[in-house]
């Protein structure tokens, strides 16, 4: 453990949070690389705050001990207070390290009031996917949908030479519970494809850094690698030469990275190659890679984001929302044990509001991982403050079979919780400093999917806005809490209404364009006309998508009477005068929420500016600049959306506000 590179924001681990542990006499009992990492942490904290790392039977007041026979599992730990001593025990050094970060979070209470407690992650695989490219793409930049500068891993066309920043990132991730990551984009370019073969040493160098904090590295690979890199004339998953090529490829990877996690694959999706070209199924494709990885204990993460991105907008029978279920549900039971189907949480694409993907509950004989998007592609691109934990908590708490059945968080335990990272080489890590909370909250929710998002926000505020950074932590935390707590709801208010989605500018997806995708091949339409708006996905008269859900949802969503307001336009095409459960008409709801959303964004900007004296200057300036842009953009959304619906419907705003 060493200090952060200069100029880099410490995020939720400023040295200050180590004060309570660093002023103690600390004993670590245990061997192995992660126990050494823990010793390094202890040594650093004690150096800063006057404590001491002791050995043998020297007296101590904090002890980390590997205990035989505990039931903490591979990553869990138990914390207990005894007279004059706080004990953390675990069955495995990884548990001790997680226990360390837990004690850091508890601070003084770990030594005074904390009750005995055992923590185990509810989900074994807690993974971040980086959509990073080795090279800089002329349009997308280096990180696809990245809003925080360049890549943390790749620089000047190679793996970064100085790994101090990577090590610091690994530490941040471990401290919130993340234990795996993939280091390159799911859209695998020709340069990135070679990370699997002759450039594997660069991946190995990254894995060396992450391993120190208990994270395993995964790699996105091209399904056509046997052709691109192997010189074969096919990538047919049932061809013996292809199978042999992948086995050798996996063997080589493990020779360099013995604890390699596995492959992530985007196949037959948005132009990426896949098994369809050979008349094979996605199970055949996934199993090819699973078989190559199996001897080494690796896993393939096969993404379910498969749909027709060249559809004809005139064709009303094709529904993009149906695609993943139509492709994958029939394959349930056909995937190997070390193949995980990685499903986006919603059926379309990380919109501010979507129902939960029906695939998640539909494949009991398949390991399923749920994919979230921490990077804010459709939620303000880290120029808008939008704290996503409440949305994720809703998704993770959803029960696909109703109250009696398991939650999404429980179902994800079979394969993992995965998120697209929002971090880059920006000095604040996430571009918008307040977007650090999204990264933190994802890790904590992956560890405990039923954690309360409000509590996570408090946790993050406490560790990020320490007394060393501000004269009045209480006032500052209260201020930031109030700008973040409702920020997802605010964002939803001024963007696409009632679950209809998109309405963004095509390509980069920032800012409003109501009809931007309406006549495009991407399958993301709202079908507004002079009478009404929304997508009829019912069985009775629409695309039949509601039939992909089990009861009760298949019925709840089928009828506009029972469909929740916030999803109404996702499931139904309704007249502008349709009355919501809230008592408002659809069109009046659109007007009201758009005015309110802007007012809320303006209020958040004002509140932030009132905190100027309390926040370190660079932080304050960066957030203030983002709020200017958020307010500008929110007004643009309001005016475009409201004008659009006024012009389409001819229905005036009942309050006579200015609509253009
Ligand atoms: C979105 C995003 C793409 C990304 C894709 C994916 O569509 O806009 O940039 O490649 O998701 O998840 O594969």
Is the complex ipTM higher than 0.90? yes
Atom of ligand 1 nearest to the CA of 377: 8
Cα–Cα nearest to 6, from 172, 211, 168, 213: 168
Nearest-CA residue for ligand 1 atom 2 is: 145
pLDDT at 1: 78
186 Cβ below 6 A of ligand 1: yes
Residue where the block lists tokens 């770990």: 110
Mean pLDDT value of segment 450-477: 96
Q: What would the two tokens of residue 311 be?
A: 């559809």
272 Cβ below 6 A of ligand 1: no
Nearest-CA residue for ligand 1 atom 10 is: 187
Q: How many angstroms separate the alpha carbon of residue 178 from the centre of ligand 1? A: 22
Measured CA to CA, the distance from residue 96 to residue 99 in angstroms comes to: 5
Mean pLDDT value of segment 515-528: 98
Q: How many angstroms separate the alpha carbon of residue 195 from the centre of ligand 1? A: 21
144 Cβ below 6 A of ligand 1: yes
Measured CA to CA, the distance from residue 244 to residue 28 in angstroms comes to: 46
pLDDT at 138: 82
Measured CA to CA, the distance from residue 178 to residue 481 in angstroms comes to: 24
Q: How many angstroms separate the alpha carbon of residue 391 from the centre of ligand 1? A: 19
Domains of the chain: 15-119 (3.30.379.10), 126-455 (3.20.20.80), 491-535+573-649 (3.90.1330.10)
Measured CA to CA, the distance from residue 371 to residue 174 in angstroms comes to: 19
Secondary-structure percent of the chain, ordered helix, strand, coil, rounded to 5 = 40, 15, 45
Q: How far is CA 657 from the centre of its chain?
A: 38
**Digit-coded pLDDT (tens) for 72-126:** 999 999 999 999 999 999 999 999 999 999 999 999 999 999 999 999 999 999 9
Peptide bond into 552 cis (omega under 30): yes
Atom of ligand 1 nearest to the CA of 269: 13
Mean pLDDT value of segment 392-399: 98
320 Cβ below 6 A of ligand 1: no
145 Cβ below 6 A of ligand 1: yes
What φ, ψ does residue 634 adopt, rounded to 5°?
Answer: -60, -40
pLDDT at 5: 86
Mean pLDDT value of segment 147-153: 98
pLDDT at 425 over 80: yes
* Mutational pocket test of ligand 1: of 305, 419, 524, the residue with most ligand atoms within 8 Å of the beta carbon: 305
Mean pLDDT value of segment 328-353: 98
CA dihedral over 183, 189, 192, 197, signed as positive or negative: positive
266 Cβ below 6 A of ligand 1: yes
**Digit-coded pLDDT (tens) for 372-395:** 999 999 999 999 999 999 999 999
The helix or strand, by DSSP H or E, that contains position 369, with its residue range, turns out to be strand 367-373
pLDDT at 67 over 90: no
Measured CA to CA, the distance from residue 425 to residue 203 in angstroms comes to: 18
Q: How many angstroms separate the alpha carbon of residue 502 from the centre of ligand 1? A: 13
Residue where the block lists tokens 């709202």: 526
Mean pLDDT value of segment 575-584: 98
Measured CA to CA, the distance from residue 197 to residue 226 in angstroms comes to: 11
User: Predicted confidence band at 523 (pLDDT cuts at 50, 70, 90)?
Assistant: very high
Mean pLDDT value of segment 637-641: 98
Q: How many angstroms separate the alpha carbon of residue 149 from the centre of ligand 1? A: 18
Q: 226-242 as b/e, with b when 16 or more CB fall inside 10 Å? A: bbbbbebeebbbebeeb
User: Predicted confidence band at 420 (pLDDT cuts at 50, 70, 90)?
Assistant: very high
Q: What would the two tokens of residue 37 be?
A: 């990492």
CA dihedral over 239, 242, 246, 252, signed as positive or negative: positive
Residue of 270, 450, 458, 625 marked active site: 270
Output the DSSP codes for 607-638: HHHHTGGGS-HHHHHHHHHHHHHHHHHHHHHH
* Mutational pocket test of ligand 1: of 347, 349, 507, the residue with most ligand atoms within 8 Å of the beta carbon: 349
Q: What would the two tokens of residue 477 be?
A: 């935390």
pLDDT above 70 covers a percentage of the chain that reads 100
CA dihedral over 271, 151, 409, 366, signed as positive or negative: positive
Nearest-CA residue for ligand 1 atom 7 is: 349
User: Could you confirm whether 268 is annotated as catalytic?
Assistant: no
Peptide bond into 187 cis (omega under 30): no
CA dihedral over 466, 469, 475, 480, signed as positive or negative: negative
Measured CA to CA, the distance from residue 240 to residue 247 in angstroms comes to: 11
User: Using DSSP, how many helices (H) and how many strands (E) does the chain show?
Assistant: 21, 20
Residue of 41, 202, 349, 492 marked active site: 349
Atom of ligand 1 nearest to the CA of 509: 8
Atom of ligand 1 nearest to the CA of 140: 9
pTM assigned to the model: 0.98
Nearest-CA residue for ligand 1 atom 13 is: 186
Measured CA to CA, the distance from residue 114 to residue 129 in angstroms comes to: 35
Three-point CA angle 449, 283, 333, nearest 5°: 65
Atom of ligand 1 nearest to the CA of 344: 12
Residue of 319, 377, 459, 653 marked active site: 377
Mean pLDDT value of segment 617-623: 94
pLDDT above 90 covers a percentage of the chain that reads 97
User: Could you confirm whether 270 is annotated as catalytic?
Assistant: yes
pLDDT at 70 over 90: no
- Cβ partners under 8 Å of residue 635, min gap 6: 598
**Digit-coded pLDDT (tens) for 2-50:** 788 889 999 999 999 999 999 999 999 999 999 999 999 999 999 999 9
Residue 507 burial (10 A CB sphere; 0-12, 13-18, 19+): exposed
Output the DSSP codes for 15-66: GGGGHHHHTSEEEEE--SHHHHHHHHHHHHHHHHHS-EEE-TT---SEEEEE
Q: How many angstroms separate the alpha carbon of residue 271 from the centre of ligand 1? A: 11
Q: How many angstroms separate the alpha carbon of residue 627 from the centre of ligand 1? A: 26
371 Cβ below 6 A of ligand 1: no
Max CA separation in the chain (angstroms): 81
pLDDT at 195: 98
- Which residues of 252-313 form beta strands (DSSP E)? 262-265, 299-303
Q: How many angstroms separate the alpha carbon of residue 68 from the centre of ligand 1? A: 45
* Mutational pocket test of ligand 1: of 267, 373, 377, the residue with most ligand atoms within 8 Å of the beta carbon: 377
């Amino acid at each position: 453990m060493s200090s952060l590179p200069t100029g880099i924001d410490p995020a939720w681990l400023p040295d200050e949070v180590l004060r309570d542990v660093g002023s103690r006499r600390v004993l670590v009992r245990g061997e192995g690389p992660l126990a050494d990492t823990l010793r390094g942490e202890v040594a650093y904290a004690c150096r800063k705050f006057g404590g001491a790392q002791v050995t043998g039977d020297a007296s101590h007041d904090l002890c980390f001990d590997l205990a035989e026979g505990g039931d903490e599992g591979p990553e869990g730990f138990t914390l207990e207070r005894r007279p004059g001593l706080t004990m953390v025990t675990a069955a495995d050094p990884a548990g001790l390290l997680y226990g360390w970060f837990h004690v850091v979070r508890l601070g003084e209470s770990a030594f005074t009031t904390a009750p005995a407690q055992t923590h185990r992650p509810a989900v074994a695989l807690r993974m971040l996917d980086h959509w990073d490219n080795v090279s800089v793409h002329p349009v997308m930049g280096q990180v696809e949908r990245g809003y925080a500068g360049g890549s943390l891993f790749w620089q000047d066309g190679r793996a970064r030479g100085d790994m101090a920043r990577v090590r610091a990132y690994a530490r941040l991730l471990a401290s919130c519970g993340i234990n795996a990551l993939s280091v390159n984009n799911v859209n695998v370019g020709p340069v990135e494809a070679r990370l699997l073969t002759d450039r594997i040493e660069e991946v190995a160098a990254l894995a060396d850094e992450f391993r120190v904090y208990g994270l395993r590295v995964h790699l996105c690979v091209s399904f056509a690698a046997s052709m691109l890199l192997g010189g074969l004339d096919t990538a047919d998953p049932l061809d013996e030469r292809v199978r042999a090529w992948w086995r050798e490829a996996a063997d080589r990877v493990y020779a360099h990275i013995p604890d390699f996690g596995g492959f992530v694959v985007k196949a037959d999706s948005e132009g990426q190659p896949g098994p369809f070209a050979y008349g094979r199924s996605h199970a055949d494709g996934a199993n090819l890679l699973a078989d190559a990885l199996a001897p080494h204990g690796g896993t393939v993460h096969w993404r379910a984001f498969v749909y027709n991105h060249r559809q004809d907008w005139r064709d009303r029978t094709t529904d993009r929302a149906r695609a993943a279920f139509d492709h994958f549900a029939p394959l349930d039971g056909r995937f190997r044990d070390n193949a995980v189907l990685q499903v986006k949480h919603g059926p379309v694409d990380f919109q501010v509001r979507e129902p939960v993907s029906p695939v998640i509950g539909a494949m009991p004989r398949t390991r399923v991982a749920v994919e979230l998007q921490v990077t804010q592609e459709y939620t303000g691109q880290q120029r808008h403050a939008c704290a996503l934990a409440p949305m994720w908590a809703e998704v993770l708490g959803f029960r696909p079979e109703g109250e009696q059945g398991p939650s999404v968080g429980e179902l994800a335990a079979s394969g993992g919780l995965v998120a697209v990272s929002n971090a880059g080489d920006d000095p604040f890590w996430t571009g918008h400093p307040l977007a650090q909370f999204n990264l933190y909250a994802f890790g904590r929710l992956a560890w405990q999917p039923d954690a309360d998002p409000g509590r996570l926000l408090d946790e993050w505020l406490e560790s990020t806005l320490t007394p060393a950074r501000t004269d009045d932590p209480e006032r500052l935390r209260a201020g930031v809490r109030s700008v973040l707590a409702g920020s997802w709801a605010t964002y939803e208010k001024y963007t696409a209404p009632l679950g209809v989605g998109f309405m963004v500018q095509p390509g980069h997806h920032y800012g409003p364009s109501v009809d931007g995708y309406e006549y495009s091949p991407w399958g993301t339409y709202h079908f507004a006309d002079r009478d009404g708006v929304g997508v009829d996905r019912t069985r009775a008269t629409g695309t039949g998508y509601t039939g992909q859900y089990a009861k009760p949802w298949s019925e709840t969503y089928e009828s506009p009477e029972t469909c929740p307001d916030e999803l109404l336009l996702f499931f139904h095409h309704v007249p502008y005068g349709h009355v919501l459960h809230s008592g408002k008409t659809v069109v009046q709801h659109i007007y009201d929420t758009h005015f309110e959303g802007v007012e809320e964004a303006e209020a958040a900007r004002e509140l932030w500016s009132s905190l100027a004296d309390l926040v370190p200057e660079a932080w304050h300036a960066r957030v203030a600049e983002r709020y200017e842009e958020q307010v500008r953009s929110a007004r643009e959304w309001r005016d475009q959306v409201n004008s659009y619906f006024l012009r389409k419907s001819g229905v005036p705003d009942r309050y006579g506000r200015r609509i253009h």
